[in-house]
Homo-oligomer: A and B are copies of this chain.
Amino acid sequence: MDQEFFWYLLGTLAAVLTTFGFVPQIIKMRKTRSSKDVSLMTLFQFSAGVLLWTLYGFHIGDIIVVVANIISFLTLVVAIGFYYHYR
């Protein structure tokens, strides 16, 4: 495998893992119908962070940064919705 391709794959895998990092938390809240131990502050702090990353992505003109953080934000909106629904 080409070295650059290896690093491209590794970077992509890193991005996918962190972008979809809250999906297992969403699934767990849905399954157990409980969210009381989940930190709402963590969800809001990540939401604010990825929104700022999205703006920063537009500024540096990096579409990957923009798209990854918009997807992250959407998963966080669902997580926050489930937090309130199941708490």
Contacts and interface: CB of A to CB of B under 8 A. Distances in A.
Contact of A39 (B28, B45, B49): B28
A54 to B, nearest CB: 9
Main secondary structure of the interface of A (DSSP, over half): helix
Interface string A49-65: 11011011001000000
Contacts of A22: 42
Contacts of A52: 10-11, 13-14, 17
Contacts of A17: 45-46, 48-49, 52
Interface of A: 7, 10-11, 13-18, 20-25, 27-29, 32, 34-39, 41-42, 45-46, 48-50, 52-53, 55-56, 59
